[in-house]
Chains A and B, each alone.
Chain A
Amino acid sequence: MSKQPVAVVGVGQTKHVAARQDVSIAGLVREAAVRALADAELTWADIDAVVIGKAPDFFEGVMMPELYLAEALGAVGKPMLRVHTAGSVGGSTALVAANLVAAGVHGTVLTVAFEKQSESNAMWGLSLPVPFQQPLTAGAGGFFAPHVRAYMRRTGAPDTVGSLVAFKDRRNALKNPYAHLHEHDLTLEQVQTSPMLWDPIRYSETCPSSDGACALVLTGDSGAARAPRPPAWVHGGAMRSEPTIFAGKDYVSPQAGRDCAADVYRQAGVTDPRRQIDLAEIYVPFSWYEPMWLENLGFADQGEGWKLVEAGVTEMDGDLPVNPSGGVLSSNPIGASGMIRFAEAALQVRGLAGEHQIDGARRALGHAYGGGAQFFSMWLVGSERPDH
């Protein structure tokens, strides 16, 4: 049973900001969807099904909001699926949509992910008490800071590496009109002296809280042939999960992340990711996760990720640019953040990334993770149609 090839022919996103008070939740998701349809030069009638994803419903205070969003997303009379896999959800949602095309169930699918964080307080949403467990009212930063510290101890990375990543991503964001943070006058020194939030994570090394949505139009061979602009082809995609807490879990480099990357590389025929992949959009909500994920994804040997950062390899003009869009550190509508990584990877191989385009990008990785570093979703997209 061979899968049908899947192509990304439409990409749309909103300008990510702290609070979109000018639109409802429906208005926000529709804005991204309309832009993706415009990119594909398709109309609502061309869409066979809608797959929507977002992080916990408590972030907006609406239970199963897809029910209320059916009309705004043109889904009335069509199938509509709602995915929720924690922070990895934007990526997972795109993969569920891609599978509908790959399985031959639908011809053309619209997939949308969003978060309107201004509707509530995500810090609260991320700190709800877990029955039978020690309360940890410290948000995601409080959860991840000890794992960053463990990485530093394990690898001997100097304290400054995190600030280099944050400064790079915030500078990259200046080239991306959709990025939330546009800090034109930011200096490296300011990043390094910004307030300490969760030691060792400083304020400027932390993702913002954003309102935003992202949408993709996915289709098969015939849809790609009709597309007005170059498609991005899906060369591989996978999800992996492991439990939140268990004895022996490696929080610094979770096995689920390594397995997920290995599955994607196998599907795409990638044996040397550092050389065969031109750039990566990696889910880095706290700066130190860039070197950590470089190792987890096989771009660097164990303990060597921070050296790539220090050597400038992941800069826009390095030989493995990471997050040319500015990444999660510059825009974080949580439920959409994973799909934005997938979308930015697609834009790059389509040659449509604008000012933050990496010249000659032919293969790009989109990556997302969530929960207690336990849910992973990734895809590898390329400018060429896969052979399989």
Chain B
Amino acid sequence: MSPAARSVDRHGRGRDVAVVAFAQSNHTRRTDQLSEVELVMPVLHDVLKQTGLTANRIGFTCSGSSDYLAGRAFSFTMALDGVGAWPPISESHVEMDGAWALYEAWVKLRTGEADTALVYSYGKSSPGSVRDVLTRQLDPYTLAPLWPDSIALAALQAQALIDAGLTDEPRLAETAVRSRRAATGNPHAQLRGSADPAELLQRPYEVEPLRRHDCPPISDGAAAVILAAGDTARALHANPAWIRGIDHRIEAHQPGVRDLTESPSTRLAAAAAGAFDAPLDAAELHAPFTAQEVVLRRALYLSDDVPVNPSGGPLAANPVMAAGLIRIGEAAALIHRGEAHRVLAHATSGPCLQQNLVAVLEGTNGNRNGNSPRSTDGTRGGAR
């Protein structure tokens, strides 16, 4: 836990910042006819329209993307054309998932230098083989030359969980089915609906113990969020999703020096973000592989009655570099729609959940209508 981050909250310093708009593309397997700019522009226009803002009234803009996905250096400079950065804008970019772009924007609003921020991210996985491309983010001297791909590394993690008795293949299949059936209510999701677990378990392994249903789809997509501080947020949305805490932590890179069944970075980030201070109504977890949800649930002390990924999550649509930002957007959307009061959003980066971000979002007190995303028994789930 960061003592500095906690002391800020305790003394009430720092401005309240909220998500006031969220938009995402309809994620698809390929978008051959669209450039990155064309992928991004509709979601930018969408969030601006939701708030009635224009690009030149935004105080700060920050994006997240990867040159390796785009296959060219400085790819984000082209995407900036989608923003319409004229007159010149105050702007930054992270070579990370858009969730971290949102973090940078949150910091900027906390300094008081801006009252609104536009955050966006995008990823086109279709031009190459994303599982091979992601091997290029491994240690260039000892790991990358072996080309261990993202599914193989996730399979190591899944096997470690099975060996530790923390899950098994049928339970992983249930996670896949639950996620993709939840996505039937999400028009932006790529995979909606699923066969029964018994049928899925008849299918061949992708990389043992993972079958295809345990892996995320390959997606092209984009997302955008608008953040606003204090009264500006209240003016832009009737029910802003306030960021009560946000923190991120990284672990060692070599999978061999980590216990892959644990995620200490997620737990640290969650504690610093205040996730354990009060019960949660739902969680949007960036777990692209079924087994990773097991790791995250344990790290976050999520009990079984907390709905996880009511949007379908990354198992239903996984536009790399945007999938983490989408978790924050989906969490905010639950609050905007009055379906939840306090929601946890999580984003990850690197092999086997190496780096993790946790944000806790809340509606305005007294503004709850109690429509939980799983209100079958009327109880609210809670962190331990």
Contact = CB atoms under 8 A, between A and B. Distances in A.
Does B associate with A? Answer: yes
Given A77-B264, A77-B268, A107 B252 contact: no
Nearest to B136: A63
Interface in B73-105: 73-74, 76-78, 80-81, 84-96, 100, 103-104
Contacts, number: 203
Interface string B32-44: 0001000000000
B303 interface: no
Contacts of B86: 242-243, 246
Contacts of A68: 137-140, 253
A80 B73 contact: no
Nearest to A263: B90
Nearest to B253: A68
Interface string A254-281: 1110011001000000000000000000
B298 interface: no
Nearest to B247: A79
Nearest to B61: A241
A240 B349 contact: no
Given A56-B73, A125-B73, A84 B110 contact: no
A86 B74 contact: yes
A111 to B, nearest CB: 13
Contacts of B355: 67, 70, 80
Contact of B77 (A24, A65, A371): A371
B90 A240 contact: yes
Most buried by A among B35, B133, B140: B140
Contact of A70 (B84, B88, B89, B250): B250
A85 interface: yes
B5 A105 contact: yes
Contacts of B96: 64, 81-82
A48 B77 CA distance: 31
Contacts of A71: 252-253
Contacts of B87: 242, 255, 259
Interface string B136-153: 111111001000000000
Contacts of B74: 56, 86, 371
B125 interface: no
Nearest to B272: A79
A129 B70 CA distance: 12
Contacts of B88: 240-242, 254-256, 259-260
Contacts of B264: 77
Interface stretch (B8-16, B205-213, B277-285, B323-331): B8-16
B112 interface: yes
B248 A103 contact: no
Nearest to B100: A81
Contacts of B91: 85, 239-241, 375
A131 B35 contact: yes
A56 B35 contact: no
B4 A48 contact: yes
Given A1-B15, A77-B251, A60 B140 contact: yes
Most buried by A among B61, B84, B112: B112
Contact of B250 (A25, A80, A83, A129): A80
B288 to A, nearest CB: 16
A197 interface: no
A226 interface: no
A75 B95 CA distance: 17
Interface in A33-59: 48-49, 55-59
A104 interface: yes
A130 B4 CA distance: 44
Contacts of B247: 79
Given A3-B111, A99-B108, A67 B137 contact: yes
Given A63-B136, A68-B138, A130-B78, A3 B112 contact: yes
B2 interface: yes
B2 A106 contact: yes
Nearest to B96: A82
Contact of A243 (B73, B85, B351): B85
B14 A103 contact: yes
B139 A77 contact: no
Nearest to B248: A79
Nearest to A83: B94
A380 interface: no
A322 interface: no
A96 interface: yes
Given A68-B138, A259-B87, A107 B95 contact: no
Contact of B8 (A104, A238, A372): A104
Nearest to A69: B253
Contacts of B299: none
Given A24-B141, A96-B107, A244-B78, 19 more contacts: A3-B111, A48-B2, A57-B68, A63-B68, A63-B133, A63-B137, A67-B250, A68-B138, A68-B139, A70-B355, A71-B252, A80-B248, A83-B94, A84-B95, A85-B91, A103-B14, A125-B73, A239-B91, A371-B77
- Leading 9 A-B pairs by shortest Cβ distance: A1-B112, A56-B73, A256-B88, A103-B110, A241-B91, A63-B137, A63-B68, A84-B95, A63-B136
14 contacts: A57-B67, A57-B73, A62-B137, A63-B68, A67-B350, A85-B91, A86-B74, A104-B13, A241-B80, A242-B85, A242-B88, A243-B81, A371-B77, A375-B91
Interface of B: 2-5, 8, 13-15, 35, 61, 66-68, 71-74, 76-78, 80-81, 84-96, 100, 103-104, 107-108, 110-113, 133-134, 136-141, 144, 247-253, 264-265, 268, 349-351, 354-355
